[in-house]
Structure 1
C-alpha cells in the first residue's frame, strides 16, 4: 500500500500529498514526429489549441468527438442516449485506445471528457511513456464563465479535472488573450472568425510546441552567427537572468520588467495548497510578458521550519523539480547536495530542459574557491550529465573576487568543458557578479521600489548597471551606429535604438544620415568605432556587391538591410568567412578596432513574417497547395516580403510592380533560388497589368504585402497604390500588410477598410507602425548581441510617430 507524507508548511499551513511509491521513469525525449495529446477540462481551450498547434506544425488534428462518430457511426450524445452510461463508458475507452494506437505520429490529438474515466487515464498514462501528453488548464473563473456553471458544478468539474495531472507528462496554462476582448463565444464551440484575434495564444502555444518538438532549434539552424537565436544564452558572453521570487510576482507589472535580461530565474519560495497551478500560471505569465527562457529554481526555505525528515525533504524537493519539468521550462536548477541517483534520473527525464548543477555555500567558512574540492564538484556535475554547473558562495572579503577569477581560469583549460557560472554573494561580491559571464543574477529598478527590501537582494545589480560596469572597465567600447539611405529624414530608427541603449545601459549612439552613393557609405563605415548600420533605399541590393560575408537569408533575398563590421581581432586570427571565424567576430561585437571587411544580413523579412504569422487567422493559415500571396513592388522590401512568404510555406506568390522589367528580375532571382519548392519549378509569378483578370487556376490572395515606398525615392512613386477589386475576392478575407507609414492611413488601407465594410470579409490590416519595430528589434540584436527591450522599442515608435505626420 502506498504511504503518503503530509507536508506541512508554516507559511500558509497547507499540505502537499507526496506519494512515496517508486515513480515510473519518465522521459520527455520524444521523436520529433510523435503525436501530441491534449487533455483537460471542458472550456480549457483544447480544441482551439489543437487547431493552432496542428496548423503551426503542419499536422493533422484528430478530435475525440469526431473519431468516436467515425468509429461508431453515431455521435457521443446519441450513443449515450441509445445505449446508456455503462455501454457508453466501455465503448468510449475502446475508441480512445484505438484513436491513440492509430495516430502515434504526425498528429495533434484532442481528448474530450472521456479522459476522466480510470480506464481512459490508464491508457493515457501508458501513451505518455512514448508521446507528449499535455494537461491544458485555465483560470477557474474563465471556465466557469464560459460554461455558465453554478458554484457546485464548477467545484465538481475542478475536482475531476485535477486527475488529468496523473496521466500527463507536460502541463500548459492557457492564459486569457486580451486580443479577444468582447468575444463571448466559448472557444470550444469552434474557431470561426474569432480565432483570428488569438494573437498571443497563437504565439505562446506555438513557442511551447517549438521547444517541445525541437522545431525551434531547426528554425534557428539557418540563423547567422551574429543572431542571438544562433547560440543559447550559456554560449554567449555576459548574459543576465532577472531574479524573480514566485511570491512577489502578483505585486509586479511584468510588462514593465523588460530590461535587457536574457532569462528569468524563477525562485520557488512559497507554499500553497494549489502550488502547481500557481507555478503553471506564473510560468505562462513570464513567457507572455517577457518572452525569455525560464530558469526554474526551488529554494530550500520553501519548506520553512517543517518537521520533515531529511529523506522526506529531499523527496519533496524533487517532486517540485518534476513540476518544473512538466511546465517545459528551458533550464532547471538541481542542488547537487542531494542524492546523485536522483539528479541523474532528473537529467534522464528532462527532455529538452537543460539541468544546471548547483553548489551553494551559505556559510562563508564552508569552502573556498581555491579548494581542490571545487574541481571535484565540477567533475561530479559533468559525470551526472548536467548541462551547466553553478558555484555560489557567501563572502565578506573582497579578495574572494580574485580567487573566483583564478578558479574560472583553471576551468578554461579543461577540454570539452561545461559552461560555468561562478560568483560571490553579498555586498562585497558585486565585482564577481559583474565579471561573471553566464546568467548573472540581476534585479530591476522597479523591483527595488515596489517589493519590500526583505524580498529583494540589495547587492544584485540591474542588467543596465552590470552592462554599464563593462563599459567602465573597458570590456566594452562605446560604438556609433547609423541609418543610411537616400531619404532618412523621417526615420524612427534613431528613437528606437537610442531608447534601447538607455534601457540596456549601453554607451552607444545611433544617427540617421542621408547618403548619395556606396562610396559615401564606405567612408562613414571605416571609423574604428563604427558598430553597424541600417541600410535603406536605394542601397539594399547595391550593397551586396561590397561585402565579404552574407547571412543565408541575405543571400536568398538578394538584398541586405543590416551592415556589420568585421575587425582584425589579432595577428593570429584570420578572416576567412567561415562560421568559426564569424562566431569570433560576433563575440567581439562590443569592441572598437580596425575594420577589414563587412558582413551583411536582412531583418526586413523577419518583421514581415512576424506580423503575418501573428495576424493571419487559422482559417487562412498558409497551405502550400492552396495559399496565394501577393506582393506589390520590386525593390529590397519586396524581395524580403517574397522570402517571408516562402519561409511561411507559401508556394504561389504573385508580384506586381509598375515597371514590369524590375518585377521579372526579382521573380527570376527567386524562381532560380526556390526551384525545388514547387512542382513546376516556379514560385513567383509576375502580374503584368492591374487591368488583367486574376489568373485562372489560382485562388485569390489571402496574404497581401504592399512594399511601395512611403515617400518618393529616386523618382519612384510614393505609396498611392490601390488594389483592383477583382484581386480582393477571397471569400475568407486574409491579411494585408502595408509597409509604408507616412502617411499611416495609405490609399490601400482606406480601400481595404471600405471593402471589408461592404463585403463583411475578414480582412485583417497590419500597418507600417506594427512592422517597423519588429525588424528593428532583430536588427538591434544583430548589431549588439544583446536581447532587445521589445516593448520599449515598440512604444518609442508610437510616441515619436506624430513628429513626422
Structure 2
C-alpha cells in the first residue's frame, strides 16, 4: 500500500522528530505494549517474540481491522475510497487500543502514520508503553525492494513515530538462523535456530521495561549476581566507551568482565537519536551488560548556543536515553533542581545517577561540608546513586576519599555513592572504589581521547589484580568432584576465566567416591567452591545447610559453596540476609562452618532451549510435548528447565523404569498445582511402545545419558525410536554429552532432518557446557563472567578429549 495513501494531507511527518513524551514511564506490570514503526522494521516478528516471552496475547492491527470490518485494508480502500478508509482506520485503531489496555502485545501497521492515529497513540502512551521500532535504512530498503526516492519518503514518514511513542528499540540484524549447519573448529556443526540473538535482545528489553526480570531474579539465590543490582555488589566496573568511537570498535573483543558500560555521548548530529539507538543495541548484543548513559559537557561547544539552549539540548539528549530504556542515566547536579526532578519523574525503571564531576583541578575538597550537602540534595531530588569525581595531584586526597565514604556509610539508609580521584595520584582511589569504577580495555589504551584522563584508567583485570595484590581479596582453591572427571573441560574453562579477569584462584579436578570425601577436601579456609558431577548430585543434597530455590525444586545440586564464620555479622541462620552477607564476602578465605548448594545445570539447558526453540514450536502449555532421556541429576535439571519454559506435558524415558518413576514422582509432587490432573511428568516404560495417544509428538528433546558409564547408567549410545520423531514442525534436540561430541542421537537427527526436511535444531554438549559453567563462575566468584571467552575456551580445548 503506497505511503501517500496512509498519510493525511498537512504537515509532512518527520520534519520535527523531537519526541513528545508523557510525564512518566512507570506503567502497570500488565500494561499492553504497542509497537509502531516502518514497514520492514520487524514489528510483527518482535511482537510475536514479545508476546511469547511475556505469555500475552498478540494482536496485529491488520488482522484486527479485518475482524472488525470483514475486509482487508486493501479491499476496504478499493471499495470505500480514501476518506472513508482513513476514518475507519482511526476508528478501528482507537477501538483496538481501548479494548486491549492490558495483557497484550499490539503491532500497529502503516495506519499509524496518519495524524489522527498518532494522536490516539500519543494519548495511549500516557498509560502504556508505545515502542518505536527502527532498523538500518539499507536493510528496510533491501527487504521491501524500494527505490531510492520511495525509501527516502518512507524514512521521512517513519520519523513521525517518535512523536507518538515513549520508547525506542533498534532492531539489529541477526546473522543466525540461515538454516544451515554452523561449522566449528572441530569440524562438526550444529543446526542453528533463526533469530536467536533477536529473541534474547528483545526479551531482555521487555524484562527491564515490565519488571519481569526483577520478578524472575527474586527467585535467584543470594549468591547469584542477578539477585542484586550491580551498584549493590562489591567492586563493580564500568567500561568507558565514547559514542564517537563505537562504530570503529570491535565490541565483541571488548568483553573483559565489566559489569556495566558507560556510554559517553561526545558528539552532536541531527541524526543523533538513531546513532545512539544503534550504539546501545550493539552494546547490549555483544557485551550483554547494563548501560550508563552519560552526556559529556563539551558536546555543545561547536553549536555556539547560549547556556539556556545548552541546558535544553542537554536534557533533550537525556530524554533520548530514557527512550532507549537504558538502565542508568547520569545527570549533572549543577543544573536546576526543577529540571532534574522532572527527569527523575519521567525515568520509569531507569536509575538516575546524580553527578558532581570535576575533571579539572578545582578548589573543593573531600572534607568540605558541601559534599554532604550535595549528597542530601541528590537524595531529595530522587537520585538513585550519587557520583563524585575530582581531578587531583595530591596523594593525600585518596585518604580523604576513604574518610568521606566512611562518613556516608554511617548514614542510615544511605544511597550508593561512587567516589574517586583522577590524575597522576588518583589510581589508588580508583582501585578502592567499590561501585562502577571506570575501566578501559587493552585494545582502547592506544586510542586518542578528548578526555585525556582516560590514560589513568586501569583495565578490569588490572583493577581486580590489584585487589588480590593488596589482600583486599584472597586467592582461593576450586574443585571439580565426581566419579569420572578425567575428561572434564571445567578446569580449563574456569582457570582461563580467572586469568582473564585478573583473579588469583585455581581450579582442579579430583575423583571422589563419596560425600565424605568431598567434606574432607573442603575444610581448608582457602576452599572457594566446587562443581559436583555424577553420581553425587542427589546424594550431596542431604549434607548441606542451605539450598537455593532451584536446587530444592530439582532435588539435585552441581555447585557447592562454603559458608564461613564472619566476624561482626551475626549468626549463620540460613536467612536470605545472612546468605547475602556471605555472598558479599566471596573471594575472602576463612573458617568454614557449613555449605550452600545450587544448581546451574538447568541454566545451561534453559538458556540453550530459549535460544533455539523456533517460532513455530513456541511452548504452549496445553499443547507442547517434551521428552527427557535419563533419570539422573541432569535429567532432573532438564525437566525443571522445561517447567520453567511453560511445558506441562513432559515425558521421561530411562532404562531403569523405577528410577524414572522416582524422578516423575518428585516433580509431580513439587509442581502438582501447575497441571489440572496434577501430572506433569509421565514415564515411558519401553522404547518399543507407540507414542502415547492424545499427546502431540515431542518438539523438545533433551538427552541426559552420560558420556561414559557411571554406576548403572549406560553410556551415550542412545537413539530415538523413529515413531517418536514424527513432529511435522521438527523441534529442538539437546544432547548433554560432549564425549563423544557427535553422539549416535545427533547423527540420527541429522539423518532424519535430511530425509524428512523437518526443521530439527541441534544443540550439542559443547554448546550447553559453557552456559552452565558461566552461571557457575558467577555464583562462585560474584563477578560477571567473560562469556565469549569461556565459550571459546571450551571449543579450543575439546580436542584434548574429543
TM-score (structure 2 length as normaliser): 0.95
2:437: which partner in 1?
440
SS at 1:735's partner residue? strand
Shift of 1:427: 2.1
Pair 1:675-2:672 in alignment = yes
Pair 1:198-2:191 in alignment = no
SS at 1:179's partner residue? coil
The 5 Å alignment of 1:103-142 reads 103-142=100-139
Shift of 1:145: 0.4
1:575: which partner in 2?
572
Gaps of 5+ in 2: 1-14, 181-190
- 1:629 and 1:356 map into 2 onto residues whose CA distance is 46
Q: Is the 8 A contact 2:22 2:166 kept in 1?
A: no
Q: Which moved more, 1:260-269 or 1:442-451?
A: 442-451
- 2:617 and 2:179 map into 1 onto residues whose CA distance is 22
1:350: which partner in 2?
347
Alignment partner for residue 535 of structure 1, among 529, 532, 536? 532
Question: Residues 9-57 of structure 1: CA distance to partner in whole angstroms, max 9, x if unpaired?
Answer: xxxxxxx9797x9x66421100011110000000000010011111111
2:5: which partner in 1?
none
Pair 1:379-2:379 in alignment = no
2:3: which partner in 1?
none
1:753: which partner in 2?
750
1:404: which partner in 2?
401
The 5 Å alignment of 1:441-590 reads 441-450=438-447, 457-570=454-567, 573-590=570-587
Shift of 1:473: 0.9
- Closer, same or farther in 2 for the Cα pair 1:571/1:124, shift >3 Å? closer
- 1:454 and 1:535 map into 2 onto residues whose CA distance is 48
1:191: which partner in 2?
none
Question: Residues 583-635 of structure 1: CA distance to partner in whole angstroms, max 9, x if unpaired?
Answer: 11101111011111100000000000000010001111111111111000000
Question: Residues 395-427 of structure 1: CA distance to partner in whole angstroms, max 9, x if unpaired?
Answer: 111111111110001011111110000011112
- 2:630 and 2:90 map into 1 onto residues whose CA distance is 57
Alignment partner for residue 642 of structure 1, among 613, 629, 639? 639
- 1:715 and 1:631 map into 2 onto residues whose CA distance is 18
Q: Which moved more, 1:509-518 or 1:476-485?
A: 509-518
SS at 2:299's partner residue? helix
1:70: which partner in 2?
67
SS at 1:646's partner residue? helix
Pair 1:795-2:792 in alignment = yes
Shift of 1:698: 1.2
Q: Is the 8 A contact 2:133 2:168 kept in 1?
A: yes
Shift of 1:715: 4.4
The 5 Å alignment of 1:358-397 reads 358-397=355-394
2:207: which partner in 1?
210
When the two chains are superposed, the root-mean-square deviation of aligned CA atoms in Å is 1.6
Shift of 1:543: 0.5
Alignment partner for residue 58 of structure 2, among 46, 50, 61? 61
Pair 1:592-2:589 in alignment = yes
Pair 1:692-2:694 in alignment = no
1:87: which partner in 2?
84
Shift of 1:87: 1.6
Q: Is the 8 A contact 2:353 2:387 kept in 1?
A: yes
Question: Residues 532-583 of structure 1: CA distance to partner in whole angstroms, max 9, x if unpaired?
Answer: 0000000000111111110000011010000000111126521111111111
SS at 2:761's partner residue? strand
SS at 1:247's partner residue? coil
Shift of 1:363: 3.7
- 1:643 and 1:353 map into 2 onto residues whose CA distance is 32
- Closer, same or farther in 2 for the Cα pair 1:476/1:423, shift >3 Å? same
- 2:613 and 2:22 map into 1 onto residues whose CA distance is 41
2:23: which partner in 1?
26
- Closer, same or farther in 2 for the Cα pair 1:427/1:702, shift >3 Å? same
Question: Residues 290-328 of structure 1: CA distance to partner in whole angstroms, max 9, x if unpaired?
Answer: 000000000111112432112111111000000000000
Q: Is the 8 A contact 1:196 1:618 kept in 2?
A: no
- 1:57 and 1:456 map into 2 onto residues whose CA distance is 44
Pair 1:701-2:675 in alignment = no
- 1:744 and 1:112 map into 2 onto residues whose CA distance is 46
Shift of 1:700: 1.1
1:652: which partner in 2?
649
- Closer, same or farther in 2 for the Cα pair 1:268/1:452, shift >3 Å? closer
The 5 Å alignment of 1:225-244 reads 225-244=222-241
- Closer, same or farther in 2 for the Cα pair 1:455/1:112, shift >3 Å? farther
Alignment partner for residue 662 of structure 1, among 656, 659, 671? 659
1:172: which partner in 2?
169
Question: Residues 479-528 of structure 1: CA distance to partner in whole angstroms, max 9, x if unpaired?
Answer: 00011101010100011111111111001001111112211111111111
Shift of 1:329: 0.2
Question: Residues 727-752 of structure 1: CA distance to partner in whole angstroms, max 9, x if unpaired?
Answer: 11111111100000111111111111
Q: Is the 8 A contact 1:18 1:316 kept in 2?
A: no
SS at 1:241's partner residue? strand
Q: Is the 8 A contact 2:236 2:437 kept in 1?
A: yes
Question: Residues 238-296 of structure 1: CA distance to partner in whole angstroms, max 9, x if unpaired?
Answer: 00000000001112110011111000000000111211000000000000000000000
- 1:237 and 1:54 map into 2 onto residues whose CA distance is 36
Q: Is the 8 A contact 2:21 2:163 kept in 1?
A: no
- 1:591 and 1:17 map into 2 onto residues whose CA distance is 56
Shift of 1:467: 0.4
SS at 1:302's partner residue? coil
SS at 2:479's partner residue? strand
Question: Residues 634-663 of structure 1: CA distance to partner in whole angstroms, max 9, x if unpaired?
Answer: 000000001000111111111100001100
- 2:748 and 2:418 map into 1 onto residues whose CA distance is 57
1:630: which partner in 2?
627
1:148: which partner in 2?
145
- 1:598 and 1:55 map into 2 onto residues whose CA distance is 38
The 5 Å alignment of 1:614-625 reads 614-625=611-622
SS at 1:389's partner residue? strand
SS at 1:531's partner residue? strand
Q: Is the 8 A contact 2:257 2:501 kept in 1?
A: yes
- 1:195 and 1:517 map into 2 onto residues whose CA distance is 40
- 2:112 and 2:677 map into 1 onto residues whose CA distance is 46
- 1:529 and 1:81 map into 2 onto residues whose CA distance is 78
Large movers: runs of 4+ above 3 Å = 16-19, 180-183, 449-456
- 1:572 and 1:215 map into 2 onto residues whose CA distance is 32
SS at 1:415's partner residue? coil
SS at 2:225's partner residue? coil
- 2:477 and 2:716 map into 1 onto residues whose CA distance is 32
SS at 1:801's partner residue? helix
Q: Is the 8 A contact 1:49 1:205 kept in 2?
A: yes
SS at 2:52's partner residue? helix
- 1:302 and 1:656 map into 2 onto residues whose CA distance is 63
